A = this chain, B = another copy of it.
Amino acid sequence: LTVPLSPRAARTRAALLSAGLDLLVERPVDGIAIDELVATAGVAKGSFFNHFIDKQGFADAVGHAVRSEIETWIARANGSETRPLARLAGGMVAAVAFALLNPRQTIVLARTARGMTLEDHPLNRQLRDDMQAVIEAGLAQPPSLAGAVPFWLGCCNTIVANIVERGVGTEQAGPMLADMLILALRGLGVESAEIAAIADPNLLQRRLAQLVGQAGTEAVAQDGATCLFEDDAFPDG
């Protein structure tokens, strides 16, 4: 249900979404005037209604864009990794890297997310599959799958929120991530040797730097935030 947009329309839409991201970092959508939005985006007021039916539709579009962005990012970071424990931990590491690279997107994501667990997004389905694989392989003994998934998700949320809120850099994020991985993996009942291998501070630090760095060199534009929405077509709203 997506239509390819003309270059001109795509530019206008991207400018609006980007401006929306800037403003949604500060306050929720109800606190943002369309006047302010179009002024920030540098387009005419009427253009807004060429692209979105109303303000809520706009907020949904921004939320959707950000969510699919982090989903893609995590999926790419885990790449072709097949070991279930590595995938589980890799998801948390990738989420932290994303938060370091895109603190504003992360804030908006937290702001627009409604329920944490009920939603059946690809990310959550993938996590559930990985968790199930971990359990079936005997690598962890959580009291239940239904409890382990939100537990892990909550740990990811906590570490990401902490990093964004205090605005720490990659160097300080590494040890925090290591601590959280130890707490979360131990909670699942993963063996000590496995935990030590996964949560090794040096290894984590390198992996974080790798993820953050490679994204930096991949991006062509200087301002990553501005071009985030210019990738391709958008859902027809």
Chain B residues whose C-beta falls within 8 Å of the C-beta of A186 in the assembled complex? 186-189
Chain A interface residues toward B at CB < 8 A: 27-28, 30-31, 115-118, 142-144, 146-148, 150-151, 153-155, 157-159, 161-162, 165-166, 176, 178-180, 182-184, 186-189
* A165→B31 contact, CB < 8 A: no
* A165→B30 contact, CB < 8 A: no
Additional pairs, 13, CB under 8 Å, beyond known A150-B159, A151-B183, A182-B187 = A28-B28, A30-B30, A115-B161, A116-B158, A116-B165, A117-B162, A143-B178, A147-B176, A148-B183, A150-B162, A151-B155, A154-B157, A157-B158
* A143→B30 contact, CB < 8 A: no
Chain B residues whose C-beta falls within 8 Å of the C-beta of A189 in the assembled complex? 186
The oligomer's copy count stands at: 2
Q: How far apart are A160's CB and chain B's nearest CB, in angstroms?
A: 10
Chain B residues whose C-beta falls within 8 Å of the C-beta of A154 in the assembled complex? 154-155, 157-158
Closest 6 CB pairs of A and B: A187-B187, A154-B158, A147-B179, A30-B30, A183-B187, A143-B179
* A118→B166 contact, CB < 8 A: yes
* A144→B179 contact, CB < 8 A: yes
Give the distance in Å from the alpha carbon of A100 to the alpha carbon of B180 in the complex.
Answer: 29
Give the distance in Å from the alpha carbon of A14 to the alpha carbon of B132 in the complex.
Answer: 49
Can you name 21 A-B residue pairings with CB atoms under 8 Å?
A: A28-B30, A30-B30, A115-B165, A116-B158, A116-B165, A117-B161, A117-B165, A142-B182, A142-B183, A143-B179, A143-B182, A144-B179, A147-B180, A150-B158, A150-B162, A151-B158, A151-B180, A151-B184, A154-B154, A157-B158, A184-B187
